A and B are shown apart, each in its own frame.
Chain A
Amino acid sequence: MGKIILKKVNKSFGATQVIPGIDLTIEDGEFVVFVGPSGCGKSTLLRLIAGLEDTTSGTIEIDGKDVTSAAPAKRGLAMVFQSYALYPHMTVRKNIAFPLKMAKASPEVIEKKVTEAARVLNLTNYLERRPGQLSGGQRQRVAIGRAIVREPSAFLFDEPLSNLDAALRGTMRLEISELHHQLKTTMIYVTHDQVEAMTMADKIVVLNAGNIEQVGSPLDLYNKPDNLFVAGFIGSPRMNFVKGESAKPWNAPTVGIRPEHIRLSKDAGTWKGVVGVAEHLGSDTFLHVNVEGVGMLTVRADGDFPVTHGDIVHLTPDDGRIHRFDESDKAIR
């Protein structure tokens, strides 16, 4: 079980209000990702759930029990930190066994659970090593192992992959998703990387300046963003925004068009522009096109689209995939 309910949770540091009052329900077994730019309060929110920070007001319930003022260890949660936070003076075995030792488990139980966690995480050959002798990915797996053995009602991940290189990040992302399928335990995952959010989450919570901007499945947020902030934050490369005269044909002050929803042609189209930078990724090419009267637009083209700096191209937005926003940046539906 691991249903977590936040009711009007508010956090201030002195006079600075970081979380102005959040209501959120996380269902048992869900993989929820808190995503937002740096300083949006996502890590603070996670630390409030963990009990590492005290709430200024509001309540936190885990499985129907009010844990607002309970100590971190009493909440039945496990956390994986960005810096791994392993105990450098202990071997991998002792690191993983530490929570069990604190819970006064018997040596047999400790041995059994540590062996099992090491097997699941491919750490069996490293049990006698110290964290300093492990690679970044292995360290992160030890941190996850330490969390697993507690059999928590929910796992909390605080940007766990930010210290890893891009290739390893991809692998670990898969491993964590796989783990979620195996354990079926609630997971709350904080990241500023929207690719991680999109690929891993059952439900994404987009945060901005301590407020929840939108909660929904990855595709919901991608297809139906509630406002300009979510529209700009979710999706890579980010959505193009067209304002003023150029947006008039769609009867809105601002329209948003994703780079993948613009057709590209060398001969004819709605807008004509000059190619600035062309980023060739192999599978795709991202073109930054300067369109007169509209501004700079990013377009996703096929990897083999023949174009270079200074070429003239014609762009046609896909009318069915246009996002319209009103003066207060809310989506018009």
Chain B
Amino acid sequence: MARAVSTRRMAVATAAAWIIALIIFFPILYTVITSLKTETEAIKGFNLIPSFTLESYVSVQTQSGYLKPFMNSVIIAVGSTILALFVAIPAAWSMAFSPTKRTKDILMWMLSTKMMPAVAVLVPIYLIFRDFGLLDTRIGLTVMLTLINLPIVVWMLYTYFREIPGEILEAARMDGASLFDEIVHVLTPMAVPGIASTLLLNIILAWNESFWTIRLTTTNAAPLTAFIASFSSPQGLFWAKLSAASTLAIAPILIMGWFSQKQLVRGLTFGAVK
């Protein structure tokens, strides 16, 4: 009868998984539902059935302009990710294949910068940005997000590279490859799955980053995070419009995440089991 028990268990576990997934997903779902309501409906209270109006989407686009912050988000997220990969690939190579006594310490130190509350360095960074004329510029924000996410990118790539047999790189060296050839022709193509999942994760992190993007921008370089925030002021709260803006902001990254989930899960669990 073991089979019957396991079937029942499976049913319970599946139901539990669906319930938990729904609870986690509910805020996003409710945001989408609210975005399809009129402002009067939205303010009334909890209601799962909207009137399916698109007026909030229309007014978000006509009054505030979605395209510019969307393009800013794309440029900043993709730009900072590519820049981070350029720095992180050689860094992770040296840590994985030519480690020194202090490599582990350096990795820990890099990660420790992520443990610091961002607000602790807000004033110095704001002043640096101001003095260098980087406030409200895409370049400034791209550099900022590159630096913020660099430790995670290096860590992820380091974990991937460690799985690549060193003998293959030695073979390339024997075959006459220079360090540059070794990284470009051998290491990088072999690490494509790892680099791809690092790239995806970093784009998501950069896309969703709101602390610095809101504080270092006003209008020109403001990405979607700042775009959403702008709906909470100054005329008071407009729930339906705020929800429509949020939906528009998360939709691209949600769609990208959906199509690349296999790659992402592999990236996040890589090296956990051999």
Contacts and interface: CB of A to CB of B under 8 A. Distances in A.
Contacts of A99: 175-176
Interface string A64-86: 00000001110001110111011
B115 interface: no
A102 B185 CA distance: 10
A140 B237 CA distance: 69
B165 A146 contact: no
A85 B165 contact: yes
B215 interface: no
B190 interface: yes
Contacts of B192: 89
A78 B190 contact: no
Contact of B167 (A78, A81, A89): A81
Contacts of A134: none
Given A102-B175, A102-B177, A103-B176, A87 B170 contact: no
B176 A102 contact: yes
Interface string A97-139: 0110011000000000000000000000000000000000000
Nearest to B168: A85
Contacts of B178: 102
Contacts of B171: 79, 81, 85-87, 143, 146
Contacts of B176: 73, 99, 102-103, 150
A73 B190 contact: no
Nearest to A98: B175
A28 to B, nearest CB: 20
A50 interface: yes
Contacts of B175: 73, 78, 98-99, 102, 146, 150
Given A83-B165, A85-B167, A77 B174 contact: yes
Interface in A131-164: 143, 146, 150
A89 B168 CA distance: 11
B37 to A, nearest CB: 51
B174 A78 contact: yes
B173 interface: yes
Given A81-B167, A83-B165, A102-B181, A88 B190 contact: yes
Contacts of B165: 83, 85
Contacts of B190: 87-89
Contacts of A87: 168, 171-172, 186, 189-190
B170 A73 contact: no
B176 to A, nearest CB: 4
A86 B174 CA distance: 12
A73 B175 CA distance: 6
Given A87-B186, A89-B189, A72 B167 contact: no
B246 to A, nearest CB: 41
A60 B165 CA distance: 27
B45 to A, nearest CB: 57
Interface residues of A, number: 23
B185 to A, nearest CB: 8
A73 B172 CA distance: 9
Contacts of A78: 174-175
A72 B174 contact: yes
Interface string B180-194: 010001100110100
A306 to B, nearest CB: 50
A165 to B, nearest CB: 21
Contacts of B189: 87, 89
Contacts of A143: 171
A52 interface: yes
A285 B167 CA distance: 41
Contacts of B168: 85-88
A322 B218 CA distance: 95
Nearest to B181: A102
B177 A50 contact: no
Contacts of A52: 170, 173-174
Most A Cβ at <10 Å: residue of B173, B174, B178: B174
Nearest to B164: A88
Given A81-B167, A83-B167, A85-B167, A50 B186 contact: no
Contacts of B181: 102
A143 B171 CA distance: 9
Q: Which 8 A-B pairs have CB atoms at the shortest separation, nearest pair first? A: A85-B171, A102-B176, A99-B175, A73-B176, A85-B167, A89-B189, A79-B174, A72-B173
Interface of A: 50, 52, 71-73, 77-79, 81-83, 85-89, 98-99, 102-103, 143, 146, 150
Given A77-B174, A98-B175, A150-B176, 9 more contacts: A52-B173, A72-B173, A72-B174, A78-B174, A85-B167, A87-B190, A98-B185, A102-B181, A143-B171
14 contacts: A52-B174, A71-B173, A72-B170, A72-B173, A73-B174, A79-B170, A86-B171, A87-B168, A87-B189, A88-B190, A89-B190, A98-B175, A98-B185, A143-B171
